């Protein structure tokens, strides 16, 4: 559902003449519940209409969705504009607070098959206030370019621009009806809610009424996220980095996907992969998610210990809201932890639950009450009360080796970054190589605090131990860009060629997170396997090209320039990858610093120029042509880059074609300057084939050698367009 869609009554309409009668038009302004929308009709009436999700009941048909499109191509006039041919249309202010513009003038249906309606074209919003006030009348003077805005002249002579469905708002209502255009009602599609629907029980997560400004998080695993995104607005590898992290909804795409901002990143996400996150404050009572697998998924990137498993489905109190996206500190009667807000739902008025935990040197399962020494020690560590924690440990040193379902106090101290407590625990006999339920050793959890990590490494912990996802401390140090820690790990025997469950090495992790300094340390390691690929088939060079990391590409080529033309399993070189992803700077490094072969073909016989044209990456096309890329090279389907450019996005087509045929955009000539230089050719002399050029300019215009349709001499761009049209009719759409 898009706020701003223009609608008329549909086949299941049951609200009488609440819309003003058959043929009258309204604007969808928002959603009400799971399957209803609010519609403001042009006469000022307001209705709640069904959206067709639950019982297939369609109260509305879509007359015009041009008011909500985002690109000029989608905003083409699907309906015939009528306003300029209609006189004496009068409107009055709908209310004192200008919220949106409703400009349709409609009349009663002429027959059972047609309805007299209006169609509008739109433009930019210039003013949001009307000087005449509520109840005054004005006349529509102009309809602007996406049918969502109009210009009105009021009785006092002032003019302003108002919204018609612009972001689902309505400012005005009509005073007098006027005829619009005719359309076949049966040909109009049903209005159906698709954006905010409640998901089925067997789907990944439930999304209720996500709206602009809401806080949401990605609530599905990587495989499901990739699968769903590929069926919608597309998949980007970087999306998986934000699983379990919160972002803000900034708007919605025309297909209903949410535009979500995570810090400096912005993605279009299918609402099925999102979970709305409640606003939670200190003192709120919350209930923890009961689903074990979903809890671990949403806790991604946050410390998750076995004690927290006992809190699933339980109620605790928020005692602190951490900065950024670090989460909430939630306290129960026997324990405390840091939770993702997405794992919590508000539980006002409910009692805080008691949590039963157990501990023992060998997971003995001894019941632990609220007042036990271990419980008090862990609470002190979690609360960063170092002095109190050290006092407890001094009284009972055996607590250093105690465990809570696999988790030791050293894990807690490392996660909290408390050096003094970590030192005391190790001195008391804590095992620095102890793995918790996720396979993490304390070193892995200490990467947010360089001092603790350095201490544990120097104490002799095994730096090659991997957790259950296959990641070592080197992976996390590379992810966070901890250069001193990487150097220290290397001196203690770390293996920078180790691969995690996704096949990523620490270098892949550094590339993914744009950690150039970390990448430089890893690349300088003599034993590095520079050809090692992850499970997606990316060697470090290809991965750096894919992520647009030109500095890392340069470092890799500095180490070994011979890798510049190595190919993936699909035959693509790093130049192919960067051309497809529009990474112009990476291409410059590959061609100028690495000497990449611009005409190397992939398994589909495509060159980098083919991919750049296919994706309409104009800067990349220009660079490749400048470097001598062949414009006549054919892929396995016989297409040249020019064929693909013809089929590319219309906005870029003209510049793309001009680049391929060797011409550059020219500024408009000042023909008045030619008169003194060429007095024998008057500047006013015009050539019929090129009305914007004087005769002298025509004489200097170079001829164009156009390929691949043979050697055709074309004097003017009109000829170029004619040739393209011939190609499209004969090749793309043959009769």
Per cent of the chain over pLDDT 90 is: 28
Long-range residue pairs from 232-241, CB within 8 A, at least 24 positions apart, any chain: 232/257, 232/268, 232/270, 233/257, 233/268, 233/269, 233/270, 234/268, 236/267, 237/512, 237/536, 237/546, 238/265, 238/267, 238/512, 239/267, 239/269, 241/512
State the burial class of residue 345 (Cβ atoms within 10 Å of its Cβ: 0-12, 13-18, 19+). middle
Of 662, 690, 710, the domain-final residue:
662
Report which of residues 121 and 581 the model is more confident about.
581
Q: What is the pLDDT of residue 360?
A: 41
Q: Does the residue 187 lie in any domain?
A: no
Q: Does the residue 706 lie in any domain?
A: no
Least confident of 178-187, 225-234, 310-319, 480-489: 178-187
Q: What is the pLDDT of residue 665?
A: 57
Beta bridge partners of 182: 116
End-to-end CA distance of the chain: 38
User: Does residue 584 sit in the same domain as residue 602?
Assistant: yes
What is the mean predicted confidence (pLDDT) over 595-617? 91
Q: What is the pLDDT of residue 359?
A: 44
The rounded distance, in Å, linking the Cα atoms of 548 and 41 is 49
User: Does residue 290 sit in the same domain as residue 262?
Assistant: no
Q: Average pLDDT over the chain, rounded to whole?
A: 74
Tokens 């419980």 belong to which residue? 375
- Residue 300: which CATH number? 2.30.30
User: Does residue 641 sit in the same domain as residue 560?
Assistant: yes
pLDDT at 29 over 90: no
Q: Where are the beta strands (DSSP E) in 602-727?
A: 686-687, 690-694, 704-706, 712-714
User: Does residue 308 sit in the same domain as residue 259?
Assistant: no
Structural domain containing residue 337: 284-346
- Residue 19: which CATH number? 2.30.30.40
The rounded distance, in Å, linking the Cα atoms of 579 and 600 is 13
What is the mean predicted confidence (pLDDT) over 464-487? 92
Tokens 């098959």 belong to which residue? 113
Q: How many CA atoms lie within 13 A of 561 on its CB side?
A: 10
Total count of domains within the chain: 4
User: Does residue 535 sit in the same domain as residue 636?
Assistant: yes
User: Does residue 326 sit in the same domain as residue 259?
Assistant: no
Q: Does the residue 715 lie in any domain?
A: no
pLDDT at 284 over 60: yes
Q: Does the residue 124 lie in any domain?
A: no
User: Does residue 570 sit in the same domain as residue 654?
Assistant: yes
Distance of CA 332 to the CA centre of its chain: 37
Q: What are the DSSP calls for 613-644, one per residue? A: HHTT-HHHHHHHHHTT--TT---TTS--HHHH
State the burial class of residue 100 (Cβ atoms within 10 Å of its Cβ: 0-12, 13-18, 19+). buried
Q: Does the residue 465 lie in any domain?
A: no
Tell me the two tokens of residue 645: 């450019």
User: Does residue 272 sit in the same domain as residue 292?
Assistant: no
Q: Does the residue 404 lie in any domain?
A: no
Q: Does the residue 370 lie in any domain?
A: no
Residue 4's pLDDT band, with cuts at 50, 70 and 90, is confident
Sequence-distant (≥ 6) Cβ neighbours of residue 252 within 8 angstroms: 2, 195, 212, 258, 259
Tell me the two tokens of residue 705: 């050698």
Asked whether the beta carbons of 160 and 19 are under 8 A apart, the reply is no
Q: What is the pLDDT of residue 730?
A: 55
Beta bridge partners of 161: 151
pLDDT at 67 over 70: no
Of 662, 697, 715, the domain-final residue:
662
User: Does residue 299 sit in the same domain as residue 330?
Assistant: yes
Q: Does the residue 510 lie in any domain?
A: no
What is the mean predicted confidence (pLDDT) over 410-428? 92
Sequence-distant (≥ 6) Cβ neighbours of residue 573 within 8 angstroms: 542, 564, 565, 566, 567, 596, 597, 600, 602, 608
Which letter, b or e, does each residue of 371-395 get, where b requires 16 or more Cβ atoms within 10 Å of its Cβ? ebbbbbbbbbbbbeebeebbebbee
Q: What is the pLDDT of residue 545?
A: 94
User: How do residues 372-406 score in pLDDT, each as one tens digit?
Assistant: 567 778 878 877 888 888 988 888 898 898 887 67
User: How do residues 141-195 score in pLDDT, each as one tens digit?
Assistant: 776 655 677 778 887 777 777 777 776 777 788 777 766 667 777 778 888 876 4
Tokens 């004192």 belong to which residue? 96
User: How do residues 577-589 score in pLDDT, each as one tens digit?
Assistant: 999 998 999 999 9
Tell me the two tokens of residue 267: 């993605």
Q: What is the pLDDT of residue 423?
A: 95
Residue 430's pLDDT band, with cuts at 50, 70 and 90, is very high
- Omega prior to 708 cis, within 30 of 0: yes
Tokens 């007359």 belong to which residue? 63
Residue 522's pLDDT band, with cuts at 50, 70 and 90, is very high
């Amino acid at each position: 559902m898009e706020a701003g869609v223009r609608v008329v009554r549909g086949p299941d309409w049951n609200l009488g003449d609440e819309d003003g009668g058959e043929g009258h038009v309204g604007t969808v302004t928002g959603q009400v519940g799971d399957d209803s929308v609010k519609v403001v009709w042009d006469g000022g009436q307001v209705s709640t209409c069904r959206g067709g999700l639950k019982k297939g009941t369609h109260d509305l048909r879509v007359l015009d969705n041009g008011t909500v499109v985002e690109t000029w191509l989608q905003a083409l006039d699907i309906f015939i504009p009528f306003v300029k041919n209609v006189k004496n249309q009068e409107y009055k202010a709908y209310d004192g607070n200008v919220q949106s513009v409703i400009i349709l003038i409609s009349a009663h249906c002429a027959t059972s098959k047609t309805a007299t309606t209006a169609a509008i074209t739109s433009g930019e919003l210039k003013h949001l206030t009307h000087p005449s006030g509520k109840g005054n009348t004005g006349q529509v003077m102009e309809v602007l370019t996406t049918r969502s805005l109009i210009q009105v002249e009021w009785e006092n002579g002032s003019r302003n621009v108002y919204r018609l469905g612009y972001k689902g708002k309505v400012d005005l209502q009509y005073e007098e009806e006027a005829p619009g255009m005719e359309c076949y009602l049966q040909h109009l599609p049903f209005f159906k809610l698709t954006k905010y629907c409640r998901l089925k029980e067997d789907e990944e997560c439930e999304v209720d009424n996500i709206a602009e400004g809401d806080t949401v998080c990605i609530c599905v695993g990587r495989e499901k996220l990739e699968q769903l995104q590929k069926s919608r607005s597309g998949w980007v590898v970087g999306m998986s980095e934000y699983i379990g992290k919160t972002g803000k909804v900034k708007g919605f795409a025309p297909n209903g996907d949410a535009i979500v901002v995570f810090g400096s990143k912005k993605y279009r996400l299918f609402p099925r992969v999102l979970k709305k996150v409640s606003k939670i404050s200190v003192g709120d009572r919350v209930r923890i998610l009961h689903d074990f697998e979903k809890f671990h998924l949403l806790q991604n990137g946050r410390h998750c210990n076995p004690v927290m498993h006992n809190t699933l489905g339980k109620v605790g109190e928020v005692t602190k809201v951490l900065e950024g996206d670090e989460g909430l500190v939630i306290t129960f009667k026997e324990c405390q932890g840091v939770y993702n807000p997405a794992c919590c739902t508000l539980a006002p008025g409910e009692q805080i639950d008691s949590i039963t935990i157990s501990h023992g040197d060998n997971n003995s399962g001894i019941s632990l009450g609220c007042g036990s020494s271990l419980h008090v020690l862990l609470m002190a560590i979690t609360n960063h009360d170092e002095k109190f924690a050290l006092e407890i440990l001094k009284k009972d040193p055996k607590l250093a080796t105690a465990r809570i379902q696999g988790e030791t106090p050293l894990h807690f101290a490392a996660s909290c970054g408390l050096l003094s407590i970590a030192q005391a625990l190790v001195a008391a006999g804590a095992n620095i190589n102890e793995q918790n339920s996720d396979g993490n050793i304390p070193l892995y959890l200490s990467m947010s605090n360089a001092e603790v990590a350095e201490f544990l490494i120097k104490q002799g912990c095994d730096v090659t131990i991997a957790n259950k996802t296959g990641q070592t401390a080197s992976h996390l140090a590379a992810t966070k860009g901890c250069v001193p820690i990487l150097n220290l790990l290397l001196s203690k025997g770390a293996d920078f060629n180790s691969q995690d469950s996704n096949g990523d090495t620490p270098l892949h992790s550094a590339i993914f997170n744009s950690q150039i300094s970390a990448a430089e340390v890893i690349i300088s390691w003599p034993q590095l396997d520079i050809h090692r690929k992850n499970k997606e088939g990316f060697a470090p060079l290809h991965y750096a090209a894919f992520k647009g990391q030109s500095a890392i590409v340069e470092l890799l080529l500095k180490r070994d320039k011979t890798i510049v033309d190595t190919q993936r399993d699909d035959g693509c070189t790093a130049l192919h990858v960067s051309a497809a992803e529009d990474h112009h700077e990476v291409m410059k490094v590959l061609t100028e610093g690495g000497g990449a072969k611009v005409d190397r073909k992939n398994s589909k016989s495509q060159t980098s120029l083919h991919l750049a044209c296919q994706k309409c990456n104009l800067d990349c096309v220009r660079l490749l042509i400048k470097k001598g890329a062949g414009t006549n090279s054919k892929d396995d389907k016989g297409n040249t880059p020019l064929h693909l450019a013809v089929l590319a996005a219309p906005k870029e087509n003209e510049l793309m074609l001009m680049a391929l045929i060797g011409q550059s955009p020219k500024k408009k000539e000042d023909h008045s300057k030619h008169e003194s230089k060429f007095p024998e050719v008057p500047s006013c002399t015009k050539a019929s084939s090129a009305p914007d050029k004087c005769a002298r300019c025509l004489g200097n215009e170079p001829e164009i050698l156009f390929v691949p349709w043979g050697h055709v001499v074309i004097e003017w761009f009109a000829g170029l367009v004619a040739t393209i049209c011939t190609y499209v009719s004969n090749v793309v759409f043959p009769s």
